[in-house]
Amino acid sequence: MRDILLIALYAFAGAAVSGLAGAGVLRLIRRRSLTVSLAVVAGVGVVAMLAGTLAVAWAMFLSPHDLTVVTTVVAMAAVVSLATALLLGRWVVARSRELAVAARSFGDGGHFAAPDGPATAELAAVSRELAVTSARLAESRDRERALETSRRELVAWISHDLRTPLAGLRAMSEALEDGVAADPDRYLKRMRTEVERLNDMVGDLFELSRIQAGALALTPTRMSLYDLVGDALAGADPLARAHGVRLVGGRVEPVPVEVDGREMSRVLGNLLVNAIRRTPADGTVAIAAERSPEGVVLSVTDGCGGIPEEDLPRVFDTGWRGTHARTPPAGAGLGLAIVRGIVEAHQGRAGVRNIPGGCRFEVVLPAAAS
């Protein structure tokens, strides 16, 4: 038993020295190729065995003949181990390079495609993560392009809508200044109307900038949807009468909600104004509020005749105004974008779908706690 312990002690001492030396070498070459590291690991194993054997032989536990036999066996094992490590290292490095080339493609704006052929579990996991990242980057690029398109459209449409009232104000002010206005009071009323229109556009731009900057401060209070809808109908009634549109608010449940009353009134006002302007004379705009499994649903139905299916995903985009984009009464295309921003700030969602003869805009809000 004592001889076995001594053999183990000498073998461990020789192997430990080799292991420490191998660790030092690995630290020095840690930035080199994986092939070199695998070769060092295989070499450390063989050298550790040989060092232990030599330590035992030095302590006179092995005969010269036995030492020669063991050394020869270890040398053959070293050749096989190094060859295997080099082959494995070259294969892993080749797979890594293929993965790097594939990853470079989606960095240049393309889509990631995992290289063909078998790979280690770790490299396969990296490929899956790169595929997910590539998909997310593609979605982000699409959103960025859509946002940039919306911004360009917004600038173009705002410039168009500002130019018309400003030109009118300039002409009317020059007429008043030169004393050629036949009816000064009518000119002044028209100028006031144009100024209010410009003020509304600037207010919409300011509201949208706060929403997009995440600076929209909400003050939620508990209120009834019945009161909220009633106030919105009263505010939109003059515009509906001017357009010859009937406002209907019969299906409104007195459901309590936790919302910012001022901002939610703006949401309903924008939806009603949009519906009234898109509905022909003698048409009907209906508003409803009811409970649903998702929370509370506010809906505004109009008689616009429907929106092309390809345009439905863009309805709430900044600057979108559909087929009547150049008609000034349609506004600058900010109303529905503001609606979505305010609703999402309330942890809700806004949507639209076609119905026979028109559209149905829906706002889903979380139900108030009992």
Q: What is the pLDDT of residue 6?
A: 64
Mean pLDDT of the region 66-84: 72
pTM summary value? 0.58
Residues 6+ positions from 33 with CB-CB distance below 8 Å: 89, 93
Mean pLDDT of the chain: 78
Mean pLDDT of the region 249-268: 85
Q: What is the pLDDT of residue 244?
A: 92
Choose between 128 and 344: higher pLDDT: 344
On the question of pLDDT at 11 being above 70, the answer is no
For residue 68, give both structure tokens: 């020669």
On the question of pLDDT at 331 being above 60, the answer is no
Q: What is the pLDDT of residue 4?
A: 67
Choose between 336 and 15: higher pLDDT: 336
Choose between 197 and 154: higher pLDDT: 197
Mean pLDDT of the region 205-214: 79
On the question of pLDDT at 213 being above 80, the answer is no
Say if residues 18 and 44 touch (Cβ distance below 8 Å): yes
Q: Which of 123-137, 247-261, 292-306, 319-333 has the highest mean pLDDT?
A: 292-306
Among 112-121, 125-134, 200-209, the range scoring the smallest mean pLDDT is 112-121
Choose between 332 and 5: higher pLDDT: 5
Q: What is the pLDDT of residue 119?
A: 66
Q: What is the pLDDT of residue 362?
A: 92
The phi-psi region of residue 109 (left if phi > 0; otherwise alpha if psi is between -120 and 50; otherwise beta) is left
On the question of pLDDT at 329 being above 60, the answer is no
Phi, psi of 216 (to 5 degrees): -80, 110
Choose between 329 and 204: higher pLDDT: 204
Q: What is the pLDDT of residue 333?
A: 63
